[in-house]
Structure 1
Amino acid sequence: MTFSTLLSTLKGKKNLFYLILFLISSQTLAQNLPTGFSRVQVAAGISKPTTMTFAPDGRIFVAQQNGNLRIIKNGKLLTTPFMQLPVTPEGERGLIGLVLDPNFASNNFLYVYYTLPDASHNRISRFTANGDQVVPGSEVVVLDLDPLSSATNHNGGAMHFRNDGKLYVAVGDNANSANSQNKDTYHGKLLRINTNGSVPSGNPFPTGSAQQKRIWALGLRNPFTFSVQPGTGKMFVNDVGQITWEEINNATTGGKNFGWPITEGVSTNPNYVNPVYTYSRNFSAEDGTGCAITGGVFFNPTTTNYPAAYWGKYFFQDYCSKWINFLDFSGGTVKRKPFATGLGASALGLTVGNDGNLYYLERTTSAVFKIIYTTNTAPEIVQQPKSISVPAGQPATYSVTVTGQTPLTFQWQKNNANISGATAATYTIASTKPTDAGNYRVLVKNAVGSVTSSSVALTVTAFNSPPIAIINTPAANSLYRGGQTILFSGEATDKEDGTLPASAFTWSVDFHHDTHTHDGPPIAAGVKSGSFTIPTSGEVSANVWYELSVTVKDSKGLTHTVSRDIHPYTSTITLATQPAGLKVTMDGQPFTAPHTETSVEGIARSLGPVDNQTLNGKTYVFEKWQHGGAANQTIATPQNNATYTAVYRDISTTYKLEAEEALLKGAQVSAKNAGFSGKGFADFINESDDYVEFTVYVPTAGSYNLKVQYALNQGTRNLRLQVNEKVISADLAFTATGQWTNWAGKSVNAPLTAGTNKVRLTATGTSGPNLDYLEVTPSTSASAIDLRIYPNPARSYVTIDLPAAWDASSVLTLYNNQGQPVYTTAGDHKNQITKTVKIPVENLPRGLYILKMQQGLAEISEQVILEK
């Protein structure tokens, strides 16, 4: 049937229902795989699959987001679920992680990662299998993860065992990027735990909080999947990116920080480990680019018939762009190579089966697929057509999957007679008639031979008009804000059934982001009206919208689906700094101001400063937000365009704090005289034991020169100086000039720590000075300190000549680029600091290291490069 004939057939219909179905069903995927490879459906009917794993006996366990765990056995999906776990399936929550115990064949243990029904947090639990069913009441809680925010995305969920017998668990940042660098939360991390949830020995952060002790790697955004290479234990983590890059990270060694949200993709920052491979996010469906890395696996099966060129490679897939690529490490550098394109959309969970084939899940088709390889040259049908029963007027589609030498020709037959024009792998009857009933098969040929498919039936039942659904509310072109409650309602009629009851209605909400979708807020089935609430946190992109859909079903099983898009109100957020050109963070990522973003109104955005920035030779620290509030704060995107300005101060040479300013910023002030209230700052220190305490911020630890300015010359003007509660001098006298003074001509140096310090000035004479300012300047001795390190780069030893001002009480520590100490002299009397120190480095990996020298509160550091 030609397209024009189809339109003529449909002329006068009330809607384009048939046309849409025809266009969908007649599309054949433009699959492109290497010669000999074919994509074959294993099982269907698995709604919203999330992950799968293989049992030693060949059964496939497949998790569904709604909490059902299914089994595919002997090529068939079992009707009864293995278990039905109560979960919250909203967004990216639900049953999202699954792994079998390494000794499953003997202990029948399996572990799942799921969201509790109250959505309070994600949980890792162990269950026991009894054949194809779970043992009732066998759940053992392994680990409860941190509380979840209202954001429903970025949960992670992947789990694997390595050859050390430990359980590794990937946890997303819960759409709060600050979590990824916080070692006191599981969010944004890869964990390493014992099977009972306890902390195993050998973890990289053995002290601190319970969360920190379980962390294997940090700085991850949404590590939805990861893979462990059989034999070697090499571990690659697939981290879904935000703006620019999708990442594959090597987490084989513990303690690595992959940089999110400070970096995304490859960075020059030595504090973070770069990915093994990245690909760009451009939503173009171009091979090698995409929207989200949702699967990756080392191809090292025990047995396979795949060509040797694919063994040992790392295969990975994208959620939007319908491709599978692989990484080739054979040449010494990582190279991406194409493998398959034109596959089904919304693919995830790429893995290797017991039979040595690649397997993956497709959410759009609710199915499991495998990719097989054959060397036959004659045609071979690897997926047969299936019998169909449809009411008259409905479409019917037959298809086959065939391997063999190309080109291949197809000829469909009805009752053993050729059908004119039916010469593709797929054959569709757009609108069936009773006379179309019969038996169908396809003859496939190539230059080597031919094969005929099995004969399958087409049964055409009595004509049945499909139902008609209508969405009444929300109205077309409706808009939303974060936190808004959306009311919905609809109605449906059917020619045979009349007005359909509420039980015929199934509603759903999809959250669209660029070219892909996420599950939106859940809606109960069997209602004609209701409501759902737009979250205020989660995805921060403005290229988003919600799609409300309703599907109605008549008594004969025909359905009709209609939908309505609800787009967001947006406004512009501009980040600025004083002075201009400094950096601030939004949602944890640093941006150079001015920076402008379009944001959905009502959606939460986090703002923060970046301290110790250098601009035009000056160093700046955060002072305040012009609009007020804490340094790190969360705002709701306003309904009007807004600018948020971070005010920074220059501390590269002098830190000068006005006395009144110190008071406003919370300086501790004490005065004994009864007339204190209402008097100016000149009266704050006017009797013995009166004091004022300044909060002083310095960027680096070291020796600083302190001096004050006072307004009037009165009484015996002596002060006691304390820094961080340590007395630096008990009785410092002033000159009589009333100008800036260095304590009667004496230079006073105080050791300050990097960050916040407390400087207290207390009157010790009969009356105190009337202070105006405190000034803090790096002392000459501090700025002149330097370490002489050689050779640099080094191979076997690093020699350090220490400055003359530093003595044997100093501590020398060498850190790797993850911030872990690899050498220290602290507590080691054999390595007592002398003027020259030699550090052995021949057993350390090559790379960038930081050498720190500490003496009391002062500290200096230098970079060291190790070569091999």
Structure 2
Amino acid sequence: MVCYNRILNIRLFFSVSLYLVLISNAFAQLPTGYIASEVQNGYNTIMGVVFNSDGTKMFVWEKRGHVYVSNWNGTQYVKQTTPVLDISDEVGDWRDFGFASFCLDPNFDTNGLVYMYYMVDREHLMNYGTPSYDPNDNDYYEATISRLTRYQLNIGSNPLTTNYNTRTVLLGESVSTGVPLTHESHAGGTVIFANDGTLLVSTGDNASYSSTDTGSASETYWQQAINDGIMRPEENVGAFRSQMITSLCGKVLRLDPATGDGIPSNPHYNASNPRAPESRMWAMGLRHPFRMSIQPNSGSTNPADGNPGIIQVADVGWGTWEDLHIFDKAGLNGGWPLYEGLTQHNGYYNSGTTNPDEGNVPFVNNCPQPTNFVDDSNPALRRFVHDRPEVAWRHGGSNEARVPWFNGTTPTNPRVGTSGSPTTGIQFRGNTAIAGVYITGDAMGSSMTGKYLFTDYVRNWINIATLTDGTLNWISDISELAPINFGDGIVHMMQNPLDGFIYYVNIYNGTLFKISFEGPTWTNQPTDVTLQCDQITDPTVEFNNWLASVTGTVLCGNVTLTNDNSGLSISCGASVSETVTFTLADDCGNEITKQATFTIEDNGDPTFNETLPASTTVECDNI
């Protein structure tokens, strides 16, 4: 199946896919304790959702180029009727192109800055600002570029609006400085902030999906792109642009959010040209990294350290494999098009295509399979070996998911859950990899903390990856959260800082849903108790009754209620306190804890058994 049949080709496949989804959703079940509920509907080709730092503002963007905000009123999100931002005139909304990604500045609540990655309408690219520009004309199915732009919102305005005069193009400020698009798919991508404050952008190879495109593919717009200066002649190598550090295509780029320049700690940074593709490149060898995420609180907070955090990239495959990459350091090479998933792609591997920018050395010479999990200590040399994905799953046929491993120095790809595999869990298949979200906190259940969710746009399942430290294979287990056909075209997921739940968008029907969790709850929660010693018969009995009074309920399996008291014996005669930690757990591994203190006070009025002497008065001069 070719790419445009799978990647957001909404108009052609909407009716058939939605029909199948509606039938299948009747049987889609989440695990006990998890609930999917609709948050909003009515969006036009919804693409994603993000939140401000405390979750009181929720932003949703549409493929056509609109951004909407909803404000939390204490009970629900209330959608502003007018768009916060509208760049639909500039956006090229065709096939899987359009307004791909939107993110907020880490200091958005004070500076109002927002960033967006989108494909540009060729009419706007070539003619805007000239007398020949026609805002009602859309030039699609021709060469164009992808662009990264920043705007400032008018923080405090009601309704919330954009100051369009603040428009700043960080990438693609001219015809020749954008990410070249030479076909009708594979543009990427995602824009997110790294944990060190740098800006990350994922871009596609922008090559043909219907042939082994090594350049000059007849179905592509390569000649028009060269004629217009959109692409250099040296980049006319089709999918192999992903293997060129001198091309913006097929990369994860790392930029300065103020200028769009590359970061000096990038692996191939050129101080004399900080806007060159090599200066901006962080990782390479990707086909269509439509969705990318980053693990919170990973890496460094200093851009000079060259450690922006652990990046998860879902790369959409061609005819056989989808895959999920984890890039934890600079310069790693995902291998496309020499490899699809974990294995060699013979069509490209044996093509003999050479790199015009590096002495016409065959691309195949520069990216062999690895012999172990150890990356080169030199970031600039890491591109010369295939950094295999952490899991790859097959298109069609039976379920098949594989992970990277080695037999000595020979790379292997055992199936998940089989003997000799480092990864336990389920087998699955799909057609369009979508990166998801790393779960923080315990709002989704303590058993989900630190897990990674990922999905597939066509099959619409959501899987759970249990992660390792990355010394060997990154994933130790894969399990199912939501079954096949759970969603209606899931293309983005995000954890809401307000409630800790997972929000996801269904592109087919324009809805926004959330997955919430009803885990263990206190029926009679632990509370501090203070008793007077002379008002009770037996302090020890009272203490044990207090322990036994605490109760809880669970939705998953059986209740387990424990405390850390070892059987304290309490007697009156002095004030005494005992602080106890109560733990309420279920059979699914979720638990909550709460501390409470039991106190006995012996401070009542004293009593005397003897008769006190009578009062006596004595004159001072008589003694």
Which of 256, 262, 267 is the equivalent residue of 1:194?
A: 256
- AA matched with 1:128: Q
Which of 207, 211, 214 is the equivalent residue of 2:280?
A: 214
Change (3 A) 1:80 1:281: same
Change (3 A) 1:325 1:249: same
Change (3 A) 1:57 1:211: same
Equivalent position of 2:489 in the other structure: 346
Where 2:444 maps in the other structure, the secondary structure is coil
Where 1:138 maps in the other structure, the secondary structure is strand
Equivalent position of 2:69 in the other structure: 71
Change (3 A) 1:349 1:285: farther
Structure 1 distance, partners of 2:511, 2:388, is 35
Higher helix share: 2
Equivalent position of 1:94 in the other structure: 98
Higher strand share: 1
Where 2:26 maps in the other structure, the secondary structure is coil
Which of 157, 161, 165 is the equivalent residue of 2:189?
A: 157
Change (3 A) 1:376 1:203: closer
Structure 1 distance, partners of 2:435, 2:463, is 11
Structure 1 distance, partners of 2:436, 2:397, is 19
Where 1:106 maps in the other structure, the secondary structure is helix
Where 1:257 maps in the other structure, the secondary structure is coil
Equivalent position of 2:47 in the other structure: 50
Check whether the contact 2:294–2:312 (CA below 8 A) recurs between aligned residues: yes
Change (3 A) 1:291 1:115: same
Which of 502, 515, 522 is the equivalent residue of 1:371?
A: 515
Structure 2 distance, partners of 1:325, 1:23, is 20
Structure 1 distance, partners of 2:194, 2:260, is 15
Equivalent position of 2:330 in the other structure: 254
- The superposition leaves residues 342-372 of structure 1 with CA deviations (integer Å, 9 ceiling, x where unpaired) of 4123111112111211111101220111100
Check whether the contact 2:34–2:518 (CA below 8 A) recurs between aligned residues: yes
Change (3 A) 1:201 1:405: closer
Where 2:110 maps in the other structure, the secondary structure is helix
Structure 1 residues 790-801: aligned runs within 5 Å: none
Structure 2 distance, partners of 1:26, 1:168, is 38
Structure 1 distance, partners of 2:40, 2:116, is 22
Where 2:339 maps in the other structure, the secondary structure is coil
Equivalent position of 2:119 in the other structure: 115
Structure 2 distance, partners of 1:122, 1:325, is 31
- AA matched with 1:340: A
Structure 1 residues 560-709: aligned runs within 5 Å: none
Larger Rg: 1
Equivalent position of 2:430 in the other structure: 290
- The superposition leaves residues 218-253 of structure 1 with CA deviations (integer Å, 9 ceiling, x where unpaired) of 110011111111111211111111122211112120
- The superposition leaves residues 567-600 of structure 1 with CA deviations (integer Å, 9 ceiling, x where unpaired) of xxxxxxxxxxxxxxxxxxxxxxxxxxxxxxxxxx
Which of 244, 247, 257 is the equivalent residue of 1:185?
A: 247
Structure 2 distance, partners of 1:235, 1:375, is 29
Check whether the contact 2:180–2:249 (CA below 8 A) recurs between aligned residues: no
Change (3 A) 1:243 1:137: same
Change (3 A) 1:27 1:77: farther
- AA matched with 1:364: Y
Change (3 A) 1:364 1:283: farther
- AA matched with 2:167: E
Equivalent position of 1:417 in the other structure: none
Check whether the contact 2:312–2:435 (CA below 8 A) recurs between aligned residues: no
Equivalent position of 1:203 in the other structure: 266
- The superposition leaves residues 121-154 of structure 1 with CA deviations (integer Å, 9 ceiling, x where unpaired) of 1111111111421123221111115353441211
Q: Which moved more, 1:174-183 or 1:325-334?
A: 325-334
- AA matched with 1:222: H
Query: Does residue 32 of structure 1 match 2:29?
Result: yes
Equivalent position of 1:362 in the other structure: 506
Where 1:321 maps in the other structure, the secondary structure is coil
- The superposition leaves residues 763-804 of structure 1 with CA deviations (integer Å, 9 ceiling, x where unpaired) of xxxxxxxxxxxxxxxxxxxxxxxxxxxxxxxxxxxxxxxxxx
Structure 1 residues 740-755: aligned runs within 5 Å: none
Equivalent position of 1:319 in the other structure: 457
Check whether the contact 1:283–1:291 (CA below 8 A) recurs between aligned residues: no
Equivalent position of 2:38 in the other structure: 41
Runs of at least 5 residues in structure 1 that lack an aligned partner in the other structure: 1-20, 379-402, 408-868
Check whether the contact 1:203–1:254 (CA below 8 A) recurs between aligned residues: yes
Structure 1 distance, partners of 2:521, 2:295, is 33
Check whether the contact 2:313–2:435 (CA below 8 A) recurs between aligned residues: no
- AA matched with 2:45: K
Check whether the contact 2:119–2:187 (CA below 8 A) recurs between aligned residues: no
Structure 1 residue 405, shift from structure 2 partner: 5.4
Where 1:365 maps in the other structure, the secondary structure is coil
Q: What is the number of equivalent residue pairs in this alignment?
A: 362
Where 1:140 maps in the other structure, the secondary structure is strand
Check whether the contact 2:33–2:556 (CA below 8 A) recurs between aligned residues: no
- AA matched with 2:242: S
Structure 2 distance, partners of 1:56, 1:353, is 9
Where 2:279 maps in the other structure, the secondary structure is helix
- AA matched with 1:31: A
Which of 147, 150, 154 is the equivalent residue of 1:130?
A: 154
Which of 273, 284, 290 is the equivalent residue of 2:387?
A: 273
Where 1:136 maps in the other structure, the secondary structure is strand
Query: Does residue 305 of structure 1 match 2:437?
Result: no
Equivalent position of 1:521 in the other structure: none
Equivalent position of 1:839 in the other structure: none
Check whether the contact 2:49–2:492 (CA below 8 A) recurs between aligned residues: yes
Check whether the contact 1:280–1:290 (CA below 8 A) recurs between aligned residues: yes
Check whether the contact 2:46–2:63 (CA below 8 A) recurs between aligned residues: yes
- AA matched with 2:457: Y
Q: Which runs of 4+ in 1 moved over 3 A?
A: 21-28, 145-150, 283-287, 330-333, 375-378, 403-407
Larger RCO of the pair (alpha carbons < 8 Å, separation 6+): 2
> Over the residues paired in the alignment, what is the CA RMSD in angstroms?
2.9
Structure 2 distance, partners of 1:284, 1:370, is 30
Equivalent position of 1:577 in the other structure: none
Structure 1 residue 38, shift from structure 2 partner: 0.7
Check whether the contact 1:146–1:185 (CA below 8 A) recurs between aligned residues: no
Change (3 A) 1:238 1:44: same
Check whether the contact 1:89–1:115 (CA below 8 A) recurs between aligned residues: yes
Equivalent position of 1:725 in the other structure: none
Structure 1 residues 320-719: aligned runs within 5 Å: 320-329=458-467, 334=475, 335-341=477-483, 342-354=485-497, 355-375=499-519
Where 1:246 maps in the other structure, the secondary structure is strand
- AA matched with 2:266: N
Where 1:309 maps in the other structure, the secondary structure is helix
Check whether the contact 1:283–1:290 (CA below 8 A) recurs between aligned residues: no
Q: Identity across aligned pairs (percent)?
A: 30
Equivalent position of 1:173 in the other structure: 205
- The superposition leaves residues 186-212 of structure 1 with CA deviations (integer Å, 9 ceiling, x where unpaired) of 010110110110121111012397111
Structure 2 distance, partners of 1:173, 1:136, is 31
Which of 273, 292, 309 is the equivalent residue of 1:226?
A: 292
Structure 1 residue 66, shift from structure 2 partner: 0.4
Structure 2 distance, partners of 1:262, 1:148, is 21
- AA matched with 1:318: D
Equivalent position of 1:12 in the other structure: none
- AA matched with 1:317: T
Structure 1 distance, partners of 2:279, 2:436, is 27
Change (3 A) 1:405 1:183: closer
Where 2:178 maps in the other structure, the secondary structure is strand
- The superposition leaves residues 465-499 of structure 1 with CA deviations (integer Å, 9 ceiling, x where unpaired) of xxxxxxxxxxxxxxxxxxxxxxxxxxxxxxxxxxx
Structure 1 residue 51, shift from structure 2 partner: 2.3
Change (3 A) 1:204 1:377: closer
Question: TM-score, with normalisation over the residues of structure 2?
Answer: 0.54
Runs of at least 5 residues in structure 2 that lack an aligned partner in the other structure: 1-17, 126-143, 208-237, 299-308, 344-367, 371-384, 401-426, 523-552, 558-623
